[in-house]
Structure 1
Amino acid sequence: MSAVLHAEQLTRRLAGTVPVTLIDDVSLEVQRGEFICIMGPSGSGKSSLLYLLGLLDRPDSGKVWLADEDTSACDDNQLAAMRLAKLGFVFQFHFLLAEFTVAQNVLLPIQRLGRLDATTGAAHAMELLARLGIADQAHKFPSQLSGGQRQRAALARALANDPLLILADEPTGNLDSAATLNVRQLLRNLADAGQTVVAVTHDHEFAKAADRVLGLVDGRHVVGWRP
């Protein structure tokens, strides 16, 4: 396996009268095809760490390498380009655009990146929806889908540009038990097929699908952490 992501001594603080440390000296390496879950108590910094790994926020100190590329010297435009081309995001709330159909939502990042022509891009979007079992929902609007279907659509959108890494923040936090099981299995299947996945979760059953769990307490990586 080869490292898709490497983070070294990440620290993130919020300035103020009483500074708050969100992430404190965290290092990790994610190998290609791994499914990793980040777990910890509420307020432990799980989402903050994910945003640093996903280049949505910058650390106060430390570095993130994405496929051996040091991201610390990148400007905001370069980081945005890397996120579009190399990262896929899934959140607790699907954030699908209500005025677009499911297929159009999946097509948006493909169009933004511009690697594929219109015909090929549309076909790729439909292939992803078929892969996730919701091709029959392609021309519906998000409001017409169940919660589980919307999250599958969000996952298809995250896969649209064939990312190196999928980052998921509580992807099942708004789903019932049946939909949670389905999304968990989809992520496991993706990892088995070679896709790299890092997910924040509070769900112990969900984390059982992961190859390993990274425990976070008070912003620090705790080796051997158990819920």
Structure 2
Amino acid sequence: MNVADAGETPVIELRGVTRILQETVPVTLVHDIDLIIQRGEFVSVTGPSGSGKSSLLYLLGLLDLPTRGQVLIDGVDTSGYSSDRLADVRLAKLGFVFQFHFLLPEFTVLQNVTLPMIRLGRLDEKAIRERGMALLRDFEIDDQARKRPDQLSGGQRQRVAVARALANDPAVILADEPTGNLDTRNSEIVQGIFADLAAAQGRTVIAVTHDQDFASSAPRNVHLIDGRIDSDVRR
């Protein structure tokens, strides 16, 4: 496992994070969580349905905000950030992969992958296209570049989603049930991709999953029950 030294600044840290959904009867989604994630870690997040797995992932990815507590990215507390600043951090430092891909059907595969780069605005048009094609080649789907998502298999669409997540070279990839809609063979392919992102590329990978094979492939497992960390095991 390619993990940073303990003395280095964690890539993501939660300090006393609680998220309460304010409904007629308030619902606590996660409760008083302390969690440190270092660079290069591959972490699976498991637990029964309703245990707070996705809620935790959304907090780690700044897609949701804590009711109490702090979320630090590269040692910087994001409390009080505006919605625009949070969006900028997500775009530059975090990549997301979801169970249902969320590829835009009106765009080609290549256009889907290049959208985050266009939004970030750091590269010119030629460099964006070249990087997009390079990412597709990495996942052996460059021959699908001009197709639209509905012309691809489920496994191909998920590889496109991973390529898109890597578009802006983020330090952290967050995935919510990335193999949930895939058959065994494609699940194994995606599992291998995530393992390689951490072990070979030194990226941090945090994946919520019900897939026990996928979970066991991660060197670290965080298990939730009722919105609390029940165990945090490094293998």
Q: In structure 1, the residue corresponding to 2:50 is in which secondary structure?
A: coil
Q: Give the one of 28, 43, 47 matched to 1:21.
A: 28
- How far did residue 17 of structure 1 move? 2.9
Residue 74 (1) aligns with residue 81 (2): yes
State the partner residue of 1:161. 168
Q: Cα deviation per residue 1:82-141 (whole Å; 9 max; x = unaligned)?
A: 111111000000000001110000010000000000000110011111111111111111
CA RMSD of aligned residues (A): 1.0
Matches within 5 A, 1:170-189: 170-189=177-196
Q: In structure 2, the residue corresponding to 1:173 is in which secondary structure?
A: coil
Q: In structure 2, the residue corresponding to 1:208 is in which secondary structure?
A: helix
State the partner residue of 2:227. 219
- Alpha-carbon distance in 2 for matches of 1:14, 1:55: 16
Q: In structure 2, the residue corresponding to 1:57 is in which secondary structure?
A: coil
Contact kept? 2:220, 2:232, Cα under 8 Å = no
The total of aligned residue pairs comes to 225
State the partner residue of 2:113. 106
State the partner residue of 2:159. 152
Q: In structure 2, the residue corresponding to 1:223 is in which secondary structure?
A: strand
Q: In structure 2, the residue corresponding to 1:157 is in which secondary structure?
A: helix
State the partner residue of 2:72. 65
Q: Give the one of 7, 11, 16 matched to 1:9.
A: 16
Q: TM-score scaled by structure 2?
A: 0.94
Matches within 5 A, 1:193-208: 193-208=201-216
Q: Cα deviation per residue 1:34-66 (whole Å; 9 max; x = unaligned)?
A: 100110001001000100110011000011111
Identity of aligned residues (%): 58
State the partner residue of 1:129. 136
- Alpha-carbon distance in 2 for matches of 1:206, 1:48: 20
Q: Give the one of 94, 99, 104 matched to 1:97.
A: 104
Q: Give the one of 37, 53, 58 matched to 1:51.
A: 58
- Alpha-carbon distance in 2 for matches of 1:18, 1:68: 35
- Alpha-carbon distance in 2 for matches of 1:150, 1:19: 37
> Structure 1: any 5+ residue segments left out of the alignment?
none
Q: In structure 2, the residue corresponding to 1:12 is in which secondary structure?
A: strand
Q: In structure 2, the residue corresponding to 1:202 is in which secondary structure?
A: coil
Q: Give the one of 96, 113, 123 matched to 1:116.
A: 123
- How far did residue 165 of structure 1 move? 0.5
- Alpha-carbon distance in 1 for matches of 2:177, 2:49: 12
Q: In structure 1, the residue corresponding to 2:231 is in which secondary structure?
A: coil
- Alpha-carbon distance in 2 for matches of 1:160, 1:22: 31
Q: TM-score scaled by structure 1?
A: 0.97
- Alpha-carbon distance in 2 for matches of 1:84, 1:94: 17
